[in-house]
Chain A
Amino acid sequence: MRRAAESVATSERPELDSTPASTAGAERPSRRSFFFFGALAAASIMPRRARAQARAQARTARRKPRPDDAGAPAGASVPRGENVAPFAEWDQASANRLVRRVTMGITRSETTRAAQLGWQGYLTYQLNHTRINDDAAEAFVATKWPLMSQTSDVLFSADSGQVRSQLQESSIYRSAYSQRQLYQRMVEFWSDHFNQDIDKVGYLLVADQRDVIRAHALGKFPDLLKASAHSASMMAYLDQNTSRNKAPNQNYAREIMELHTLGVDGGYTQDDVAELSRVLTGWTITGRGQFTFNPAIHDTGTKTVLGVTIQGITGPDGIKEGEQVLDMLVKHPSTARFIATKMLRWLLDPNPSETQIATVASAYKATGGDIKAMIRVILNDSWLPAAPMKFKRPYHFVVSSLRSTNPATVAALSGMNSQLAVLGHQNFTWDTPDGFPDKIEYWSGNIVPRWNFGNVMAAQNSATSLVVDTTPYRAGSTAAAIDLIDQSFFGGEMPAVTRTSLVAYAGTATLTDAKARELLALAMSANAFQWY
């Protein structure tokens, strides 16, 4: 619990970000990370092949034991693909492992930065996201997708197709080009946690993404939940805006407990759903998309939620009944456990151990739901090196392709947005409130569209959309081109099976532009590029 205790101390400050700039990313290395530096230095003088062999020998089985199997729930079976040991070529202890988990995809600059900072330094760098200068990405978004900074009053009159495409495309751009990569990963996570379908809520989602998800993605969970509960978009999505005292609508009351806080087994009953729906009557929308509380449709009777009596309040203070329940929900032990489990699944392992869940839930309780403090506990340098690989969802796959190919020109992302629709993972189009699944069983069968996307991405060569420039790959020998692909797409850890095939495919003749593009397409289509 030493880490959690550290996090408590840190989080007593208003923000982790208030750490003086001079120390950000330059913490005194711990004994463990110092050891890693030594190991890295030693490894760097070994030939690549020898290193891969050494790691392959160290890896005894594809399905390896967990750090604390004893804590796993008895009888729970792990679905296929959810306990796959990383490739032999991956150095588990290297910062590359962390880069794969906290970014939307490997880039040469990011692996270089992580190697310089070391595990703790790089994690701290990514966690202190507001200290990372992101002006370039934000300036591009502001120019290219101006509707994103508008209020709902303005967006009400905007073309709905424009609003939709600007929201989707700017999200892709930020995921790929923001320097705040861990923050972007958490924006994606919370967007699914508080999922809304743009076909139902329309322009209202712009403010939800900006003022709820992006404002609190690395903040405190209670603030995030409360912001969501005061979001016009969420009110519209879960029909809260149609609920009234005479006949309350249970949709939001149910999902805020089932999906947002307690979890389905979190200890609430159907009676609690019905009673909370009464508490929340009056939480609705006014004007062109402002949240409001309307006392005229609020049920002022006495209610009982989760065993607590909620006294009815008349007039504008009736909203305090709901605020009281929100406070109960964020402080509930089931919420700590539910959020801890879900964050562990996202960042570490689809089947976290009981010990891991309990440890992260403790961090939630100790820090009042500080998301950064929980991430610090989750991404420690003993859990992650022992964790299985995860299978990229299509969005992650597309964005990581964009990052690794690093197009020389980015003028439009409408093509990428269409490709995401083909892959079944276009942002904000999952219609039910559980969000896009993060299950390999769900996504792994739809592999042909991924291969086709590799072709589409590698072929980009239009100044009005994307230009993938093959010149760097054709500047030297074919071997140099393969090495550059390895560095750009695989962090220098391309599996031998892929390298051998790629070398054979490349042949010995000087690479043409077309052949270079084929190599890039195959790199993106390769099995190793589907995992992180």
Chain B
Amino acid sequence: MDYDHDADCGCQEYNELSRRQFLGTAAGLSAAAFFPDWLPKIVLAKNFASNRDIIVSVFMRGGADGLSLVAPFADANYYASRSTIAIPRPDSTSANKGINLDDFFMFPQAMAGLVPAYQATDLLVVHASGQLNVSRSHFDAQRYMEVGKPVDPSLVSGWLGRHLASIPPLKPSAPIRALGVANGLQKTLVPPTITTDLYDTKTLPIPNPASYSIGGAASSQAARMNFLKTDYATADEPVRSAALDATNTVDLLKAVNFTGYAPANNAAYPTSSFGRALRSVAVLIKADVGIEAAQVDIGGWDTHSAQDPLGGSMFRTMQDFSTALGAFYADVIAMGYNVTVVAFSEFGRNVRENGSAGTDHGRASALFAMGKGIAGGRVLTKNWPGLARENLEAGQDLKVTVDYRDVLSEIVQNRLGNPNLAFVFPTWTPTMLGVTR
């Protein structure tokens, strides 16, 4: 890999800590970390001055219909293509009329939860975005996006895993740097093989951080933990690191009060799995335990039939999405925490609806970026291709005009303080679009 960690990253907080010093610290830590005497003091962070954001990455799995999420009501072809599933115009009299964003695009009412963030100019929509590589397979398209490089079977690590591996920890003593709120580790977070040039990513899948603990009789707990630590010390990777990080994280999360958490601004997270996941991430961010990345998934977007964005299946998915992210905005971002959220899907859907009042796999969708460092309050397009049939890809789909890596590269560099873009997104030369402030 042709990149240089010692290059000046422009970030104050870890210029102070030289590479050599860091390695010394980390080596000392990992020897001691087996039986850590380090226990965090849980203090709600009031220091918002850090200039390096925490990232919350949301994958909208299933191919989300960008033309329902952020609908181009001013494009006549939108209504011509969707006789049963279109969102009524904002200036209509329909009870289901859309919410005007910029006189061209609108949110459906199911997305109302994100209006405050948009109005505060902290929410950016990048439309007709996706990946330039054409794949209409969910699984290939998700894999390429998560890996951050299309059609390369030799690359198995994810873009966020490589970001973490190429930047020192926000908190060198943290037992866990990133979590996937899932039963298994999402590809986005899979680390590269850690060499001496890289940093341990300390990443775990934790489906429910609030109940992450060791069961069984309390009297034998310490002895059982010692057995496990010894037994897994000689395990092969990735199991050895997972077990080590897990035991340290169990100790860490014991001190975090999830159940008694009161969100700021009376924010109300939905009780859905997506809502609970974002709530847990908010607790961890405020507990200031050193979490610097979280991957959260929301499914339900594969709307081949009975899509119904006005009251049915997609309405409920969008409402869950916008209400949970809206709560996270009020609870965390509006409070001034340095957090950037990105949310995107593997592809959009056909412009024309199918015979089942749904839509089949398409190409471009809409991407969301949210945070105080995001130049939001607008729907960013780059040569909006429109929905006229002659302008559609393969005669059926909204063209991808912005590759998602352009947006993520700018965020990785400007908000996450990582200059190693060529490592995070190999072979990709980004075009900065001004998505960050």
A residues whose Cβ falls under 8 Å from a Cβ of B: 62, 73, 75-77, 79-81, 84, 238-239, 242-244, 246-251, 254, 258-259, 264, 270, 273, 391, 394, 423-425, 431-432, 434, 437, 440-449, 451-452, 455-456, 459, 497-498, 501-502, 505, 514, 518, 521-522, 525-527, 530
Contacts and interface: CB of A to CB of B under 8 A. Distances in A.
Contacts of A501: 227, 230-231
Given A73-B153, A432-B299, A505-B223, 9 more contacts: A242-B355, A243-B356, A247-B356, A254-B136, A264-B139, A432-B61, A444-B238, A451-B228, A527-B239
26 contacts: A76-B153, A79-B190, A80-B193, A80-B237, A247-B355, A249-B305, A249-B354, A249-B358, A250-B360, A250-B361, A432-B139, A440-B238, A441-B156, A442-B185, A443-B184, A444-B238, A445-B184, A445-B185, A445-B205, A445-B245, A451-B228, A452-B216, A505-B223, A522-B224, A525-B224, A527-B231
Given A249-B305, A249-B355, A432-B61, A424 B184 contact: yes
B93 interface: no
A490 to B, nearest CB: 13
B215 A445 contact: no
Given A446-B207, A521-B216, A441 B228 contact: no
8 closest A-B pairs by beta carbon, nearest first, are: A424-B183, A247-B355, A242-B356, A442-B184, A455-B216, A239-B304, A452-B215, A527-B235
B62 interface: yes
Contact of B355 (A73, A80, A244, A443): A244
Which of B138, B187, B299 has its CB near the most chain A CB atoms (within 10 A)?
A: B138
A445 B242 contact: yes
Interface string B384-405: 0000000000100000000000
B231 A497 contact: yes
Contacts of B237: 80-81
Given A81-B236, A437-B184, A497-B234, A246 B137 contact: no
B242 A447 contact: yes
Interface in B173-205: 180, 182-185, 187, 190, 193, 203-205
Interface in B364-418: 394
A248 B216 contact: no
A287 to B, nearest CB: 20
Contact of A248 (B154, B215, B355): B355
A249 B352 CA distance: 12
B250 to A, nearest CB: 6
Contacts of A79: 156, 190
B7 interface: no
B246 A425 contact: no
A431 B298 CA distance: 12
A75 B151 CA distance: 13
Looking at chain B's contact residues, the main secondary structure is loop
B212 interface: yes
A86 to B, nearest CB: 10
Contacts of B203: 445
A505 B215 contact: no
Interface in B148-174: 153-156
Nearest to B143: A264
A255 B213 CA distance: 39
B243 interface: yes
Contact of B246 (A76, A238, A424, A447): A447
B214 interface: yes
Contact of B232 (A81, A264, A394, A527): A527
Given A441-B190, A442-B184, A498-B231, A448 B224 contact: no
Contacts of B18: none
Contacts of B190: 79, 441
Interface of B: 61-62, 136-140, 153-156, 180, 182-185, 187, 190, 193, 203-207, 212-217, 220, 223-224, 227-228, 230-232, 234-239, 242-243, 245-246, 250, 299, 302, 304-306, 353-356, 358, 360-361, 394
A247 B223 contact: no
A247 to B, nearest CB: 3
Given A273-B136, A424-B207, A441 B238 contact: yes
A247 B85 CA distance: 15
Which of B184, B214, B358 has its CB near the most chain A CB atoms (within 10 A)?
A: B184
Contacts of A238: 304
B314 to A, nearest CB: 14
Contacts of B139: 258-259, 264, 432, 434
Contact of A446 (B183, B214, B215, B358): B183
A242 B153 contact: no
Contact of B185 (A248, A394, A441, A526): A441
B183 A425 contact: yes
Nearest to A246: B355
B138 A514 contact: no
Contact of A258 (B137, B154, B232): B137
A518 B227 CA distance: 11
A521 B225 CA distance: 12
Nearest to B158: A441
A523 B106 CA distance: 58
Contacts of B238: 80-81, 440-441, 444-445
B145 to A, nearest CB: 15
A448 B231 contact: no
A521 B224 contact: yes
A259 B140 CA distance: 11
A456 B353 CA distance: 49
A199 B38 CA distance: 44
Nearest to B356: A242
Contacts of A514: 217
A448 B156 CA distance: 24
A264 B236 contact: no
Given A258-B137, A527-B232, A505 B354 contact: no
Nearest to A505: B227
B250 A448 contact: yes
A452 B360 contact: no
A264 B228 contact: no
Nearest to A458: B216
Nearest to A502: B227
Contacts of A442: 184-185
B354 A248 contact: yes
B236 A448 contact: no
Nearest to B139: A434
A514 B220 CA distance: 10
Nearest to A388: B236
